[in-house]
Chain A
């Protein structure tokens, strides 16, 4: 009997499975985005209460007026991914209106390029996007030094792309009225970021259904995390 060999192999199998399970959170998540979404779902994290400025120079906060907030990060010069995010937000806005949820959910776009995206340039972005001011605020940070902790809290990574633009991950982040990040909905395929690659357009067109699903999930989560609607008794 080679019992030592059997015991050794058993230990190796157990150790290998354990190591791989830890690395993939139980064989479920393989990317940083997915791991973060998974972690936040289990334990919400408080995001820093950073001063924001909207396109009129009015101060804004990540969480305000008792509503849930869906947050995204863009830079307005962005040729690809942010365009997708913009159209996602337009669909979110019309869906919020359709569901009559404007008193419970708001949309917040934050530019991570405050040097370029001054309130004036944010206005140009708004001209293209038609945000309803009661629902959707287009902002950037008031103080550039607060940007990095804000991006860290949301798990957004911005890399210089070498051609004066940025590469960044994109997701819909749901923040509750208390300023806690409660769920992250990665825009799975980051479809537009693939356009520069061979076959990229095929990927982009395939992912429309996936986008609809992400939009619905984010809005459902935002509504679920909003405080209960006050009943107004009609006389």
Chain B
């Protein structure tokens, strides 16, 4: 699901001196600019299902992961409602799943307002996922990675297995390409995150 670095759970709050809002400003500005660029280029990006699902949506999600705030008093207060990161990860999954539904892909490709909602919800999903990941013990992280890979693979197989076109905006070849693409993403992403998870966990064990 993400490129979020698996920071050791036992590390605790980072001793940062600079107020995080100031240090994060360029990152947030850059992400806003990229989001705007993605919305301006929505017409070519959404003409093909492959670009829509395998490029635009992942980039929006990744933007959220990048702009997610560092640990502060505010995030710590929020985290008390997000024990083990479970609530946040669930919500992030739901927000991403919505845009895997064929009719929502059609709706986003058709309508600018819905596309703006899509962009915002995906960036939010990224932010929520990153913040929750930090709070999640290894068991929840393993579950999240497995679930994300499984979900992506399922959507890919549904696209491949459908008897006809699922989106009125996209042709059958586009759908098959996207199906194989999602399978590849789930395999590679799942493997990469598993390795990352394993390594982060080993570091934590070594640090103990």
Listed in ascending order, the chain A residues whose CB lies under 8 Å from chain B are 2, 4-9, 11-13, 15-17, 19-20, 23-24, 29-35, 155, 157, 159, 161, 167, 169, 188-191, 193-194, 196-197, 203, 207
Chain A residues near B168 (CB, 8 Å)? Answer: 31-33, 155, 157, 169
How many whole Å from B153's CB to the nearest CB in chain A?
Answer: 17
Cα-based distance from A193 to B171 in the complex (angstroms): 9
- A30, B101: Cα distance in complex, Å: 6
Contact at A5–B164, with CB atoms within 8 Å? no
Near A by CB (< 8 A), chain B positions 78-117 give 80-84, 86-88, 90-91, 93-95, 97-98, 101-104, 106-107
A4:B81 contact, CB within 8 angstroms: yes
Chain B neighbourhood of A13, CB < 8 A: 87, 90
24 contacts between A and B (CB under 8 A): A4-B83, A5-B81, A5-B82, A7-B81, A11-B87, A12-B87, A13-B87, A13-B90, A15-B94, A16-B91, A19-B94, A19-B95, A20-B98, A23-B103, A29-B103, A30-B102, A31-B167, A32-B167, A34-B103, A167-B165, A188-B163, A188-B164, A190-B164, A197-B173
In the complex the two chains form, is B103's CB within 8 Å of A4's CB? no
With A24-B101, A31-B102 given, is the CB distance from A9 to B87 under 8 Å? Answer: yes
Contacts of B164 in A (CB 8 A): 188-191, 193-194, 203
Whole-angstrom CA separation of A62 from B80 in the bound complex: 61
Number of CB contacts from chain A to chain B under 8 A:
104
B31 in the interface (beta carbon within 8 A): no
Give the distance to chain B from A19, nearest Cβ to Cβ, in Å.
Answer: 5
Closest residue of B by beta carbon distance from A197:
B172
- Residues 32-48 of B contacting A (Cβ, < 8 Å): none
Top 5 A-B pairs, shortest CB-CB distance: A5-B83, A16-B94, A8-B81, A190-B164, A189-B163
Say whether B167 contacts A161, CB under 8 Å.
no
Encode B64-85 as 1/0 by CB contact (under 8 A) with A: 0000000000000000111110
With known contacts A159-B171, A190-B164, A203-B163, A32–B94 Cβ distance under 8 A: no
Would you call B98 and A194 a contact (CB within 8 A)? Answer: no
Give Cα A7–Cα B82 distance, bound, in whole angstroms: 9
Residue B192 interfacial (CB < 8 Å): no
With beta carbons under 8 angstroms apart, the residue of B90, B103, B163, B171 that contacts A32 is B103
Q: Which residues of B contact A197 (CB under 8 A)?
A: 172-173, 176
Q: Using CB atoms, name the residue of chain B closest to A156.
A: B168
B102 closest partner in A (C-beta): A31
**B91 A30 Cβ-Cβ under 8 A:** no
B142 at the interface (CB under 8 A from A): no
Question: Known: A5-B80, A12-B91, A31-B166. Is A167-B98 also a contact (CB below 8 A)?
Answer: no
Whose C-beta in chain B lies nearest to the C-beta of A155? B168
Give the distance in Å from the alpha carbon of A33 to the alpha carbon of B82 in the complex. Answer: 38
Whether the Cβ atoms of A193 and B172 lie closer than 8 Å is yes
Within the complex, what minimum Cβ distance (angstroms) separates B110 from chain A? 9
The distance in angstroms between the C-alpha atoms of A189 and B104, with both chains bound, is: 19
**CA separation between A12 and B168, bound complex, in Å?**
32
Within 8 Å CB of A19, what residues of B?
A: 94-95, 98
Once bound together, how far apart are the Cα atoms of A78 and B94, in whole Å? Answer: 40
The docked-state distance in angstroms from the alpha carbon of A63 to that of B87 is 53
Q: When the two chains form their complex, are residues A193 and B80 in contact, meaning their CB atoms are under 8 A apart?
A: no
Distance of A193 Cα from B176 Cα, bound (Å): 13
CB <8 Å contact, B169 and A35: no
State the Cβ distance, A127 to closest chain B Cβ, in Å: 29
Do residues A191 and B101 form an inter-chain contact, with CB atoms below 8 A?
no
**When the two chains form the complex, which single residue of A7, A16, A35, A194 contacts B163, counting CB atoms closer than 8 Å?**
A194
Q: A9-B83, A30-B166, A35-B103 are in contact. List 17 more A-B contacts (CB 8 A).
A: A2-B83, A4-B81, A9-B86, A9-B90, A20-B94, A20-B98, A23-B98, A23-B104, A24-B101, A24-B103, A31-B103, A31-B166, A32-B103, A33-B168, A197-B172, A203-B164, A207-B163
